[in-house]
Amino acid sequence: MKLKLYNPLKRCVVTQGFGFANTSPDMLEKYRAMGLSAHNGVDYFAIDGTPVYASHNGRVIFAGYDGAGGLGVVIRTTEEFELDGKISLAKSIYWHLKRGSLCVTGGQEVKRGDKIGEADNTGFSTGSHLHFGLKPIAKGENDWTYINLNQEGYNGAIDPTPYFVKFQNEMKRGDQSQDVRDLQEFLKTIGFFNVTPTGYYGVITAQSVLSFQLKYCTLSWYERFVMKGSKVGEKTLSALNTLYE
């Protein structure tokens, strides 16, 4: 099963991506001075105090200070996933968190969406933001290993972007958002929505959602005859993401 990541922030705006092609030119030499080929994670815009959430279920294997990362949290999966062409455990990494903001401790079990701390500017950082990283854990590798065995110029980190699920937020009739537009565009792609996407969840969207649910979800009597596609919840999100892959 492929690893599925969820956004570590309520609103994610990428300010610097992973790897050479996505690294700010003025930062490249600084990363190389640290022994990296380029940026080994994804940076998100986050003002001081922005809540940061666990991107997946797992166990906290680090919660404390690191020289470059500042205050941070590392969460390991408790089961193996398909990751970077291999089956392995994985760990997600959250750096530059705010002093006194940690909500977790080492060894603690967390669920996806649990608050783990708040964003700030601790460590090697030029402004408040969240650095998010992802590393596979090789067989026999210790939880606390920082520079993982399969380095490839990034201390073992890989690009987390392909592992983020497309549909993450519940939607309901009356909503107007980019999430709704993405939903409409995908439903149109697979034949359930036959008008121009607008981003507004109205009657036509509800009818399209119900048609999708009837084919791909197990609905209760209430969902089928009362809700009638007026809400996209966990069950529907899961079916959408399964097809989207």
At 208, is the secondary structure helix, strand, or coil? helix
**Is the pLDDT reported for residue 150 higher than 90?**
no
**What is the per-residue pLDDT across 98-129, written as a single tens digit (0 to 9) for each?**
999 999 999 999 999 999 999 999 988 889 99
Residues 6+ apart with CB under 8 A from 30: none
Of 21, 40, 24, the residue nearest 126 (C-alpha): 24
Sort strands 231-232 and 58-66 into parallel, antiparallel or unpaired.
Answer: unpaired
pLDDT over 70 percentage in the chain = 98
The full length of the chain comes to 245
* Spatial separation of the C-alpha atoms in residues 92 and 32, rounded to whole Å: 22
Residues 6+ apart with CB under 8 A from 185: 193, 197
pLDDT at 153: 82
Binned at pLDDT 50, 70 and 90, residue 146 comes out as: low
**What is the per-residue pLDDT across 54-73, written as a single tens digit (0 to 9) for each?**
999 999 999 999 877 899 99
Residue at token pair 């009362």: 226
CB 75 within 8 A of CB 136: no
* Spatial separation of the C-alpha atoms in residues 102 and 118, rounded to whole Å: 7
CB 204 within 8 A of CB 193: yes
Q: What is the DSSP letter of 22?
A: G
Which amino acid does the sequence have at 9?
L
CA atoms within 13 A on the CB side of 222: 1
Average pLDDT, rounded, for the chain: 93
Q: What is the DSSP letter of 85?
A: T
* Spatial separation of the C-alpha atoms in residues 86 and 105, rounded to whole Å: 29
Question: CA 222 from chain center: how many Å?
Answer: 32
